[in-house]
Amino acid sequence: METLEKEIRPSRIHKFKMKWLLIFAVIGPGIIAGTADNDAGGIATYSVTGASFGYKMLWILFLITFILAITQEMGARLGLVTGKGLAALIRENFSLKTTTFVVIVTFVANWTNILAEYAGISAVADIYGVPRWIAIPAAALLTWYVVYKGSFKVVQKIFLTSSLLFFAYIIAGFMAHPQWGDVLKGTIVPHVEWTPDFFYTAVALIGTTITAWGQFFVQSYYVDKGIAVEHMKLSRWDVFAGSFWTNFVAFFIIVATGATLYKAGIIISDAGQAATALEPFVGTFAKHLFAWGLLNASLLGLAVVSMTSAYVVTEAFGWEGRVDLKQESPSFYRIFAFCIFSTALAILIPGLPLIPILVGSQMLNTFVLPVLFIAILMLLNRQSLMGKFKNTLTMNIISWVSVFFVMAMAGILLFMTVTNFGH
């Protein structure tokens, strides 16, 4: 036995290689879920933030990074330990009525969110003079085809590649030649302007990053990936890396528009305008980087948000499905297809009042987030469910503080939207 063991014991170099292979096996969900938070709506918010406030809000982004990391880690841990999606856990541990409420609200909020992704695709189509009635169906078919035909591994590879394509924004950020001293100051020195606009934008920054669908997605994705609980530590780093990368990209979008549009006093209202407005300052290449970045973000968002809706509905009502179980879960693909195609049809309606719809979507998100976070924290504190991965007191304090912060901010945003505060 002794000699046998020696024969099969890997050498030191081998061990090192194994560790790297393991990292690649475990990494992915965190990065993808994180990056998907930078969807079309996110890119728009960051562009507008930079154009309206320069570097003044970078410190808020810095804070959001930690909150995102904390909330995503909770979802990932819940998924890893229980092997179940959030919707299934809510159904099993709370009431059917709560589940139905959460599912319907999330589904509607997601639906409108998908509209926003298509709006992003339309904006890019407009920049390049492609008719919308070609661009929208093409995007819908492409996304459906990739998720329907691709295996889990293929889909994951496409998602990961897409996550890396966000690098375009970092290049654009450098091309804008920002004053790095000012950027650093904006990142670490808190600055508050007591104006409604400042608060509105600050809250929108949080609202676009911490979302109900993001919470569902990260957990379900971890479940489907089937990572062993022993790899919790690595997964945690994956989540943290994802949160960091997400906001690193956001940082450079704000820097790019802050260094140019803000300086010149140009006001924009969406990401498409940002791309066009950047051209005179940093050249055609930067415009293309912004446009392609937006297209990439919209497509990734389109796939991820639609998949989340399918996860949530199937889990909650017992039509369970996994991404790689085509035959056994037709419901998953039916719901996925419905989300993709019904929104594509809706966005093509001429004169669709997109802005009120998106505001409504944000409000729904505000309603469902507290329910989700309270459920998540209750589940994380259950010994019978989590075992040794239960929340510790420190974790509870940190999570409650972050969750409370997010809920308060979402509440403020809701209040300001409803009362039309500052407009």
Partner 1 sequence: MIFFSQLLRVPIIDSKQETVGRLKDIVVRAQDGEYPKVHGVIFKDGKHLSFIPYQFIETLSRGEITLNKSNSWKPNYEPTNDEFLLSRDVLDQQIFDVKGIRVVRVNDLQLVRIDNGFSIVGIDISNKALMRRLGFSHLPFFNKMESKFIDWHNVSLVKGSVGSLQLKTTHQKLQKLHPADVANLIESLTLPESTRLVQSFDKETAAEVLGEVERKYKDTLLEHINPKALATIMEEMPTDEAVDVLKDLSEHKRIQVFRRLGVRKAKTLHKLSGYKDDIAGGLMTSEFMTIHKDLSVEEAIKLIRKDSDNYRSLYHVFVIDDEKHLLGVVSIRTLLLSSPKQKISDRMSKVVRTLRIHTKAGDIARLMTKYDLLSMAVVDKQKVIRGIVTVDDILRLLIPDA
Binding site for partner 1 (CB under 8 A): 1, 4-5, 7-10, 14, 18, 22, 81-84, 91-92, 96-97, 100, 223, 226, 228-229, 317-318, 320, 324-325, 328, 384
Provide the minimum distance between the beta carbon of 242 and partner 1 in the complex, in angstroms, as a whole number.
21
Provide the minimum distance between the beta carbon of 311 and partner 1 in the complex, in angstroms, as a whole number.
13
Provide the minimum distance between the beta carbon of 97 and partner 1 in the complex, in angstroms, as a whole number.
7
Residue nearer to partner 1 on the CB measure, 96 or 401: 96
Residues 81 and 386: beta-carbon distance below 8 Å: yes
Provide the minimum distance between the beta carbon of 59 and partner 1 in the complex, in angstroms, as a whole number.
41
As given in the structure block, the two tokens for residue 41 are: 């709506």
Residue nearer to partner 1 on the CB measure, 45 or 99: 99
Tell me how crowded residue 8 is: count the other CB atoms within 10 A of its CB: 6
* Half-sphere exposure (Cβ direction) of 392: Cα atoms closer than 13 Å: 3
Provide the minimum distance between the beta carbon of 84 and partner 1 in the complex, in angstroms, as a whole number.
6
The dihedrals phi and psi of 315, each to the nearest 5 degrees, come to -65, -45
Residue nearer to partner 1 on the CB measure, 229 or 416: 229
Q: 353-362: long-range contacts at Cβ-Cβ below 8 A with a sequence spacing of 24 or more?
A: 354/115, 354/116, 354/119, 357/112, 357/115, 358/41, 358/112, 358/115, 358/116, 359/417, 360/112, 361/108, 361/109, 361/112, 361/113, 361/115, 361/116, 362/204, 362/207, 362/413, 362/414, 362/417
As given in the structure block, the two tokens for residue 356 are: 């009120």
Residue nearer to partner 1 on the CB measure, 83 or 353: 83
Per-residue buried b or exposed e for 181-213, using 16+ beta carbons within 10 Å of the residue's own CB: ebbeebbeeeeeeeeeebbbbbbbbbbbbbbbb
Provide the minimum distance between the beta carbon of 24 and partner 1 in the complex, in angstroms, as a whole number.
13
Residue nearer to partner 1 on the CB measure, 181 or 318: 318
Residue nearer to partner 1 on the CB measure, 83 or 280: 83
Alpha carbon dihedral 147, 150, 152, 154, in 10-degree steps, equals: -110
Provide the minimum distance between the beta carbon of 294 and partner 1 in the complex, in angstroms, as a whole number.
35
Rounded to whole angstroms, the Cα distance separating 79 from 57 reads: 33
Residue nearer to partner 1 on the CB measure, 7 or 393: 7
Residue nearer to partner 1 on the CB measure, 219 or 247: 219
As given in the structure block, the two tokens for residue 422 are: 């500052």
Rounded to whole angstroms, the Cα distance separating 296 from 168 reads: 10
Rounded to whole angstroms, the Cα distance separating 97 from 103 reads: 10
Provide the minimum distance between the beta carbon of 371 and partner 1 in the complex, in angstroms, as a whole number.
17
Rounded to whole angstroms, the Cα distance separating 76 from 68 reads: 12
Provide the minimum distance between the beta carbon of 307 and partner 1 in the complex, in angstroms, as a whole number.
18
Provide the minimum distance between the beta carbon of 190 and partner 1 in the complex, in angstroms, as a whole number.
43
Provide the minimum distance between the beta carbon of 318 and partner 1 in the complex, in angstroms, as a whole number.
3
Residue nearer to partner 1 on the CB measure, 146 or 325: 325
What letter represents residue 159's amino acid? F
Rounded to whole angstroms, the Cα distance separating 348 from 104 reads: 24
As given in the structure block, the two tokens for residue 211 are: 């979302």
Residue nearer to partner 1 on the CB measure, 56 or 91: 91
- Report helix, strand or coil for 9: coil
Helix ranges (DSSP H) in 94-166:
96-127, 132-149, 152-165
Residue nearer to partner 1 on the CB measure, 87 or 115: 87
Alpha carbon dihedral 205, 210, 212, 215, in 10-degree steps, equals: 160
